[in-house]
C-alpha cells in the first residue's frame, strides 16, 4: 500500500448548529476584550501615550459630567429612534438606505410648522401639528420608493438613496427662504424668544422627553415585530416572498405599509432633532444617522432590545473618540481608528459564532495501516 504523504488540510471550516446563548455572548465578550487590547497596543505604538489613560479619557468623555451623560443619552435616543425606524424595512429585506432623506423630510416639516404657525396656534396644538406633519412627511418620503417597488419592482436601494439627495436639496432651498439673519446662510435658532414649538423640559432636563419617547417606541417596536400580525407578515415577506404569496399575504401592501411606518419613524427622529434639541435646521442635521442606523440595525440582528446596546456602543465610541482627540491633542482620525478596530472585532466575532474551525487532528494517521 502506498504510504505517501497525505495532505490533511491544516484548518477546515464548517457551520455550527445553534450555539447556546451564553457561549455566543462569551465569544462576543472575548472579542471586546481583544479589541481593547489591540487598541491599547496600537495607541502605545502610534502615539506613545499610556493606553490606560486613553481609556479613562474615553470614559470621561462619555460619563464625565452629568451634562455629558445627558448628551450621550440624547444621542443614543436619536440614533436608536432611526435604527428602530429602519428595522422593519430591513427585516422585510427592503434595503431602506434612505433614512437620511426621511429624517430630513421630518425635520423640514417640523421646522416649517414652527416658522409658519408661530403665534397662530397655541403651543400645545402647534407641537401636535408639528408631530403629525413630521410623521406624514417622513412616511411619504418612505412610501414613494415602496410604491414604485410594489408596482413596478424598481430597485429600492438606488431609489431610497436618491431620495436622500432630493431631501437635502429641498432643505437647502428652504434654508435660503428662511435665512435669518439674511445673508448668514443658515436659519438660526427658530422662535428663540417665544420658544414656540420647543418640546417642553421635564424638570430642568431638556433631553429627558426625547429619551422617554424613544424608550416607549423601543418597547412598541419590540411588541410590533414580535407579537402582531403585521410583524409576522414582515418576517414572512422578508424570508420568502413566494411563501408569503402562497399563504395569501398581499406582499405589495405589506411593503408599502411597512415603509410608511419606517419613514414615519424616521420623520419622528427629525421632529425630535428640530423640536427637542437643535431648534434649527441644517442640511447636515441628521449627521449621517440614517446610515449609521443601518449598521446598528444589522449589528443588533433586528432585535430592538439588542439595538439599545448597539447604539450605546456606537455613541459611546463616538463621544469617547472626540474626547481623546481634544485631551491628547491627537488628530480626530485617531479616535476613528480605535472605533474601527473595535467594530472590526465585534462584527468579526460573528464569524466564530456561525462557523467552527477544525484544526488538523490527531486521528489523521492512525487508521492508515488497516488497509
Partner 1 sequence: MDGKTAAVQMRDITKSFGSVKANDKVWLDIYKGEILALLGENGSGKTTLMNMLSGIYYPDEGQIYVDGREVVIRSPKDAFDLGIGMIHQHFKLVDVLTAAENIILGLPGKGKLDIKSVAAKVREISERYGFEVDPMQKVYDMSVSQKQTVEIVKVLYRGADILILDEPTAVLTPQETDKLFAVLRNMRDDGKAIVIITHKLHEVEELSDRVAILRHGHFVGDMPTKKTNAGEMTNMMVGRPVVLNIDRPEPKNPQRRLEVKHLTVQDEDGVTKLDDVSFVAYSGEILGVAGISGSGQKELLESIAGLHRAEGGSIIYVDPETGAEEELIGKDPRDISDMGVALSFVPEDRLGMGLVGDMDLSDNMMLRSFRRGRGFFTDRKSPHKLAERVVEELDVNTPSIETPVRRLSGGNVQKVLVGREISSAPTVLLTAYAVRGLDINSSYTIYELINKQKARGVAVVYVGEDLDVLLELCDRILVLCGGKVSGLIPGRGATKRRVGLMMTKLGGGTEDE
2: contact with partner 1 by CB under 8 A = yes
- Cβ-proximal residues to 126 (8 Å cutoff; 6+ apart), any chain: 113, 114, 117, 118, 120, 196, 197
Supply 131's cell numbers. Answer: 408631530
Stretch 217-236 residues interacting with partner 1 (CB under 8 A): 227-233, 235-236
183: contact with partner 1 by CB under 8 A = no
15-23, 32-40, 153-161, 270-278 -> range binding partner 1 (CB under 8 A): 15-23
Stretch 233-292 residues interacting with partner 1 (CB under 8 A): 233, 235-236, 239-240, 242-243, 245-248
In sign, the C-alpha dihedral spanning 94, 98, 103, 108 is: negative
Neighbours of 3 (CB within 10 A): 9
How many Å apart are CA 239 and CA 119, to the nearest integer? 50
CB 303 within 8 A of CB 92: no
14-22, 168-176, 200-208, 343-351 -> range binding partner 1 (CB under 8 A): 14-22
Residue for grid cell 494517521:
365
17: contact with partner 1 by CB under 8 A = yes
CB 225 → partner 1: shortest distance, Å?
A: 11
116: contact with partner 1 by CB under 8 A = no
CB 339 → partner 1: shortest distance, Å?
A: 31
361: contact with partner 1 by CB under 8 A = yes
H or E element: which one contains 357?
strand 355-359
Number of residues in the chain = 371
CB 22 → partner 1: shortest distance, Å?
A: 16
16: contact with partner 1 by CB under 8 A = yes
CB 297 within 8 A of CB 315: no
How many Å apart are CA 131 and CA 249, to the nearest integer? 31
**Interface with partner 1 (CB under 8 A):** 1-2, 4, 6-9, 12, 14-18, 227-233, 235-236, 239-240, 242-243, 245-248, 358, 361, 363, 367-368, 370-371
Amino acid at each position: 500500500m502506498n504510504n505517501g504523504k497525505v495532505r490533511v488540510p491544516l484548518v477546515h471550516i464548517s457551520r455550527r448548529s445553534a450555539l447556546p446563548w451564553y457561549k455566543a455572548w462569551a465569544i462576543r465578550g472575548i472579542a471586546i476584550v481583544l479589541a481593547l487590547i489591540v487598541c491599547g497596543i496600537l495607541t502605545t505604538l502610534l502615539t506613545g501615550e499610556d493606553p490606560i489613560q486613553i481609556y479613562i479619557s474615553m470614559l470621561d468623555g462619555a460619563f464625565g459630567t452629568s451634562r455629558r451623560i445627558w448628551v450621550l443619552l440624547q444621542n443614543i435616543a436619536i440614533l436608536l429612534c432611526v435604527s428602530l425606524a429602519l428595522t422593519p424595512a430591513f427585516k422585510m429585506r427592503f434595503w431602506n438606505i434612505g433614512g437620511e432623506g426621511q429624517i430630513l423630510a421630518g425635520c423640514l416639516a417640523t421646522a416649517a410648522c414652527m416658522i409658519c404657525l408661530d403665534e397662530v396656534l397655541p403651543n400645545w396644538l402647534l407641537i401636535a401639528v408639528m408631530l403629525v406633519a413630521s410623521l406624514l412627511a417622513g412616511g411619504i418620503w418612505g412610501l414613494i420608493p415602496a410604491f414604485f417597488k410594489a408596482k413596478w419592482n424598481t430597485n429600492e436601494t438606488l431609489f431610497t438613496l436618491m431620495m436622500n439627495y432630493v431631501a437635502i436639496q429641498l432643505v437647502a432651498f428652504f434654508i435660503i427662504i428662511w435665512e435669518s439673519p439674511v445673508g448668514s446662510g443658515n436659519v438660526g435658532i427658530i422662535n428663540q424668544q417665544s420658544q414656540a414649538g420647543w418640546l417642553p423640559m421635564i424638570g430642568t432636563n431638556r433631553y429627558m422627553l426625547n429619551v422617554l419617547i424613544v424608550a416607549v417606541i423601543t418597547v412598541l417596536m419590540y411588541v410590533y415585530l414580535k407579537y402582531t400580525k403585521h410583524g409576522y407578515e414582515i418576517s414572512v415577506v422578508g424570508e420568502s416572498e413566494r411563501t408569503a404569496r402562497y399563504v395569501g399575504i398581499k406582499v405589495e401592501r405589506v411593503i408599502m405599509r411597512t415603509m410608511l411606518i419606517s419613514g414615519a419613524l424616521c420623520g419622528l427622529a427629525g421632529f425630535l432633532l428640530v423640536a427637542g434639541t437643535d431648534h434649527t435646521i441644517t442640511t447636515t442635521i441628521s449627521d449621517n444617522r440614517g446610515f449609521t442606523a443601518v449598521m446598528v440595525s444589522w449589528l443588533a440582528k433586528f432585535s430592538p432590545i439588542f439595538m439599545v446596546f448597539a447604539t450605546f456602543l456606537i455613541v459611546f465610541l463616538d463621544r469617547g473618540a472626540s474626547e481623546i482627540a481634544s485631551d491628547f491633542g491627537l488628530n480626530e482620525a485617531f479616535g476613528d481608528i480605535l472605533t474601527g478596530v473595535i467594530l472590526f472585532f465585534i462584527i468579526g466575532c460573528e464569524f466564530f459564532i456561525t462557523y467552527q474551525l477544525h484544526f488538523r487532528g490527531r486521528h489523521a494517521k492512525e487508521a492508515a495501516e488497516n488497509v
